[in-house]
Structures are given as C-alpha cells and as structure tokens.
Amino acid sequence: AQTVTQSQPEMSVQEAETVTLSCTYDTSESDYYLFWYKQPPSRQMILVIRQEAYKQQNATENRFSVNFQKAAKSFSLKISDSQLGDAAMYFCAYSTPNAGNNRKLIWGLGTSLAVNP
C-alpha cells in the first residue's frame, strides 16, 4: 500500500527567509502524481503545487518549488521569501492513475509552518 510520510510535525521560518518541508513516500507504481496542499487556519484545502512522476523537471509556482527525487521517493517543498501568509499546515499527498476509477489522494500527516516576523 502506498504511504506518505512527513517527518517534521512543526517548523518555523523567519519572514523573507527560505524553508524546506520534507516528504517521502512509498509506492511500487511508476506512474503517479505528488502534491503539496496548504491548509491555513480557515481550514480550506488549497493546492500549492503538483508534480507528475514522469516529468524529471521540478515543478515551480512563484515562490514555491519542489525537489523531486524519484529514486529516493522524496518530494520536498521549498518556500522562498517566506511571508506571514504562508503560515499554515502543509500536507504532502499522492495519487496514482492506476487505482481504477478512484482518484483518491493519500495524505501525509502534515507539517505546521510558523512564520516569524
């Protein structure tokens, strides 16, 4: 069974600094997708960035980028120039197209990120 592990329950960063959140996953599939979701205090689940496993190039969205290491099954999120609004719980998630009709996301337990002014 696929699993997603986030080893850092809590992290903090100074405003304007860079922080990296870690995620590892376990799967026997070769085709899959990886995601980082942000959950602010409002509890809304917001997609930050996604990575297709077949793409070697790391995804980037403005200040957010990933380091995707397929062989190591590692998928870390780097937040550059951290802002106060980045403070949230961050979830790493996995999905495979080989789950039949189910587009289920498998989630890590999250990393709570605090941004200090």
Partner 1 sequence: EAQVTQNPRYLITVTGKKLTVTCSQNMNHEYMSWYRQDPGLGLRQIYYSMNVEVTDKGDVPEGYKVSRKEKRNFPLILESPSPNQTSLYFCASSPWLAGGVYNEQFFGPGTRLTVL
Which residue number, 99 or 114, has a Cβ lying nearer to partner 1? Answer: 99
Q: Does 91 bind partner 1 (CB under 8 A)?
A: yes
Site for partner 1 in 22-41 (CB under 8 A): 31, 33
Which of 59, 68, 87, 110 binds partner 1 (CB under 8 A)? It is 110
Distance CA 113, CA 14 (A): 11
Which residue number, 43 or 57, has a Cβ lying nearer to partner 1? Answer: 43
